[in-house]
Amino acid sequence: MTTSSAPGKVYLFGEHAVVYGEPAVPCAVGRRARVTAERRDDGRVRVEASDLSLDGFAITYGGDLDEADVNVPSGLVEAATGYVDGAVDQARDAAGEPDAGFTVTIESDIPLGAGLGSSAAVVVAGIDAATRELGVELPPEELADRAYQVEHEVQEGQASRADTFCSAMGGAVRVEGDDCRRIPDAPELPFVIGYDGGAGNTGELVANVRGLREQYTFAADTVEAIGDIVRTGEHALENDDVEEVGRLMNFNHGLLSALGVSSRSLDTMVWAARDAGAMGAKLTGAGGGGCIVALDTSEGARTALDYTPGCEEAFRAELDTDGVRAE
């Protein structure tokens, strides 16, 4: 039995634009998904997910989910097992053991679908745990690439490398197309995260931005402007200018709102954090619901979010310099 964990992430800048080859800067945060893989001899996979905001279930199945005996909606099963299936397939491939079976147990501090990279963390940790259980240890760069392949397939080609690379490597990273690297010596970033309890439909939101970009030149220009914010933000990070990072986060949120991926709850949380003194605040992830991230060294933003209608949870999260690791 082998357990690995991997961190979630927030975007300082660049979500949605990264899909079109613009750069993005995600940062790993100290909330983790933990995956335990235990080899089994029957070649089947059993998934136990007790606290993934899924009401909890256990399922044993072979290659066909229709054969599974489980009393939850099929869409829920597919969402929970798609990433695990991909992780198991990658582990089998890496170890050269195509018939290996596993019992996979998933525990996570990361809300599903909230823009904090829950699926990427589960896939990265899952591949690491399963390959270690088969006696193979992969470097984090290979884990990131294999996890990206899983997300790319499950999300029907709409994934970027940002989430999986950040989860595998930890710290602050820069992703532009296939060019991925860590940002050395990133400053301390006083993250405050607000969560509205919801989740946007990533595929639908990405498709809507694509439609706007194809229909309107100014929407395409907006996507490019987000890329310009990222490049400017990189210089601010290199110069330890956290206040400038916050100002650029505000710009980024405004452009994401213009592209239609914010929501009333996200905007309300963003403005509550700013009004309470945050250096900057923006949505993180696909949008439509989920989380915002603010920069604030005081307790003002977190306290304000605690009292903001529609905010179900507010918490601090430090930059996590560890990526995937064995537990």
pLDDT digits (tens, 9 = 90+) for 205-219: 888 999 999 999 999
- Give the pLDDT mean for 35-43: 92
Considering the chain, what is the average pLDDT of its residues? 88
pLDDT digits (tens, 9 = 90+) for 255-297: 999 999 999 999 999 999 999 999 999 999 888 889 999 999 9
Domain boundaries, the chain: 2-184, 191-317
pLDDT of 61 reads 44
pLDDT of 118 reads 85
| Active site members | 163
At the topology level, CATH places domain 2-184 in Ribosomal Protein S5; domain 2 (3.30.230)
pLDDT digits (tens, 9 = 90+) for 289-321: 899 999 999 999 999 999 999 999 999 998 999
Long-range contacts of 240-245 (CB under 8 A, 24+ apart): 240/187, 242/187, 242/188, 242/189, 242/190, 242/279, 242/295, 243/279, 245/12, 245/189, 245/279, 245/280, 245/295
> What percent of the chain shows pLDDT beyond 90?
67
Q: Thinking of the domain 191-317, which architecture would CATH place it in?
A: 2-Layer Sandwich (3.30)
